[in-house]
Structure 1
Amino acid sequence: MTVSTPTVPAARWRRAVARRPVLWFWLIAVGIELVVVPVFLLSGAQQALDDAIVATGAGFNTDLVSAARLVLDDRRALAGVLLALTQVAAPDLAVLVVGVIAGGGHLRRVGRRFRFWAPRLGARRGLTVWAGAVAVFTAMNLATAGLNALTADAYDFRWNVAPLWWPLLVGLLVAMFLDAGAVFEENGWRGFALPLLQHRYGPLLGSVVLGLLWALWHLPVKFELFGYGPAGAGALIAVLVAKFVALTVVMTYFFNAAGGATILAIAMHGLSNDSVRVGGFVFGDSLEAYLVSEINLLVPLAVVATAVTVATRGRLGLSHRYRVLP
């Protein structure tokens, strides 16, 4: 007699995903990452990518233009770049999976949020929000540069940005609209998960939850942290988690102020990654250097996050007039 294993009906999966769409989105995003990262490390793609970076002198950058140039200059980088892009695309891929399984119009709503600002705001209000976001994120990067300069005893630091140099303006546009992580993640984090979490928990707590999920999703690619020992890794993880939570609070404010606009989230994400290095260049791989440089990124974010939370009484730009629906 053969014993058959009962199968879970597809309808049950759909109901499960529909009941907890954000949880399933996050689990799928982490699952994709846990598949891609070992392949990246064990296939030789990472070593080939590192060799190409050294050979070309390109240095590490997060934007798609730099990635394309690296591949064109040294074809050894192709597999590593493609795997790295797949890893950062995990949140957007997870949204597609959840949308297909759960239905419920999730993908349509995510698509509608892919805009510069909500149409009901009008161009004048929308451009004002954009100008404020760009100014705040640039100011935070400059504040980090100042803190890096003050604490440079812990590491080598160089800041050589010429503010009126026209390539800097081009670089800022590339950072805002062609940063790999921003382009391939934000339909997931802000376009999909944030409105649902705000609807359930409110803007502030929803942002904290999203920041924690975002930080935890990053940990599988932060394996170098554990080379600093348990205490060092714990300190670094604590600062990184706090940084992602504070960054999420700031991004939520401007996202809501624009009526729910994923393109603005992409721009903010790209500016926070700072591929132009407005925050300067930090050299050194000691625990002290890593920890102090991360704290210098956190401090301006924490100040701005606190300011917008207090100023809006925790509403973070989610007015009744311009409510961002889940």
Structure 2
Amino acid sequence: MRGDGLRVGGLRARIADRPVLWFWLIAVAIELVVIPVFLLSGAQEGVDAALTATGTDFNTDLVTAFRLVLNDHRAMAGVVLSLIQVAAPDIAVLMVGLLAGRHHLRQVARRWRFWSPATGWRRGLRIWLQMVAVFCAMNLATAGLNAMTARDEGFVWNVRPLLWPLLIGLVIAMFLDGGAVFEENGWRGFALPLLQTRYGPLLGSIVLGLMWTAWHLPVKFDLVGYGPGALSIVAVLTAKFVALTVLMTWFFNRIGGATILAVAMHGLSNDSVRLGGFVFGDSLSAYLISEINLLVPLAIGAVAVTLASRGRLGLPSTVTPTPSATVRRTPGRRHASTLRGKQVDRSDV
């Protein structure tokens, strides 16, 4: 019994020493368990059959998922497993918090807001409007690029121009996207503040973008069918996730660290409204071109905010990276420093 207690204590100490690393490892482990179950249980075939039978287009929002299950019960297992997979980051945060320190969970909970008290509702609303405008503009830019470059069966842009349906669709995209709702407590609510504290906003965002990419790769198992050409798609996907992370960090920091804003950005980037249109074709070139068209506006935006903020990405100048040598500590204790009366994590990655 004593040996078991020592082992558990040692595990807690290791997680407390590297909370972001362990968060990522747990999130990847959950995904690697769920994906084989999804493929081997027939859940994927059930979802495909339900989509075909109901004439539903695949989409990432929870409204579509609910309607699909309601109209065809064969989709139930696949939808549940898919939600568990995308919820892996949030489940990982919960596990890290329970094992390494409840203060992580309290800080994640405090960030679940539209804007910080210091930002205020006037500036908060302005930042929200700017964010929606920027992300919609990037999606429309992608649509233009797709229209010019689409191959194979071509490109379709069928967004309903009526105001109210479009606005309702945007609200669903921002607040009811499956990946956004179930991931962002992990990526932005938990990992980003810790990474910024250690590495600074720009390098911390790049690290988070690489972690986000690597976590996504297992669900891209179909890329192996493209042979060596899959490496080019992985490279573009990596650049896309890093650029998106940099841009999201800029908005996240400017609004004082608000996870709900991160959820909205994530949802708009998934574009369930299809402002970017839909590219048909399964060839390597069609896949690669469509991903490049997503990357280009994101890369322009990421470079612009990086240059405009001189790499600070909206993070107050009073917050500076903490070298790892200064944050070694006794495992299991709560560690924070105070900047202008607010607690800032000093945990290692």
Give TM-score, length-normalised by structure 2. Answer: 0.90
**Equivalent in the alignment of 2:66:** 68
Aligned-partner residue type, residue 128 of structure 1: R
> Residue 105 of structure 1: SS of its match in structure 2?
helix
1:274 aligns with 2:271: yes
Match of 1:180 among 178, 181, 187: 178
Q: Which amino acid aligns with 1:141?
A: N
In structure 1, distance between residues paired with 2:285 and 2:314: 37
1:69-218 pair list within 5 angstroms? 69-103=67-101, 105-153=103-151, 155-218=153-216
2:243 to 225, 246, 267: 246
Instruction: After TM superposition, give the deviation of residue 59 of structure 1 in Å.
Output: 1.3
Aligned residues: 322
Offset at residue 319 of structure 1 (A)? 1.5
- Offset, 1:321: 6.7
Between the aligned partners of 1:253 and 1:116, the Cα distance in structure 2 is 15
Equivalent pair of 1:154/1:292 in contact (CA under 8 Å): no
SS in 1 for 2:311: coil
State the alpha-carbon separation in 2 of the partners of residues 157 and 142 from structure 1.
Answer: 13
Question: Secondary structure of the residue that 1:239 maps to in structure 2?
Answer: helix
| Distance (whole Å) between structure 2 residues aligned to residue 133 and residue 169 of structure 1 | 15
What is the RMSD computed on CA atoms of the aligned residues?
A: 1.6
Amino acid at match of 2:80: L
Q: Deviation of residue 166 (structure 1)?
A: 1.6
Question: 1:297, 1:15 → 2: CA distance?
Answer: 41
Q: In the alignment, does 2:310 pair up with 1:296? A: no
Identity %: 70
CA separation in 2, counterparts of 1:111 and 1:163?
A: 37
Q: Does 1:307 align with 2:325?
A: no
Amino acid at match of 2:119: L
- Take 1:142 and 1:58, find their aligned partners in 2: how far apart are those partners? 23
Offset, 1:142? 0.4
TM-score relative to the length of structure 1: 0.96
Amino acid of the structure 2 residue aligned with 1:312: S
Which residue of 1 is the match for residue 233 of structure 2? 236
Deviation at 1:9, TM superposition (A): 2.0
SS in 1 for 2:272: coil
Aligned match of 2:332: none
Deviation at 1:152, TM superposition (A): 2.1
Partner of 1:14: 12
| Inter-CA distance 163–320: structure 2 relative to 1 (3 Å threshold) | farther
**C-alpha separation between the residues in 2 aligned to 1:163 and 1:120?**
37
Offset at 1:104?
5.1
SS of residue paired to 1:282: strand
Unaligned runs of 5+ in 2: 320-338
CA–CA distance in 1 between the matches of 2:105 and 2:317? 24
How far did residue 36 of structure 1 move?
0.3
C-alpha distance in structure 2 between counterparts of 1:172 and 1:104, whole Å: 35
Residues 15-44 of structure 1 show CA distances to partners (whole Å, capped at 9, x for unaligned) of 100110000000000000000000000001
Aligned-partner SS, 1:276: coil
The 8 Å contact of residues 152 and 280 in structure 2, kept in 1 or not, is answered as: no
Q: For residues 106 and 187 of structure 1, what CA distance do their matches in structure 2 show?
A: 11
Contact 1:29/1:90 (<8 A) preserved = yes
Residues 32-47 of structure 1 aligned to structure 2 (within 5 Å): 32-47=30-45
Moved over 4 A (4+): 321-324
Deviations 1:181-231 (A, max 9, x none): 00000000000000000000000000000000000000110011110002x
Conserved? CA contact 1:62–1:275, under 8 Å: yes
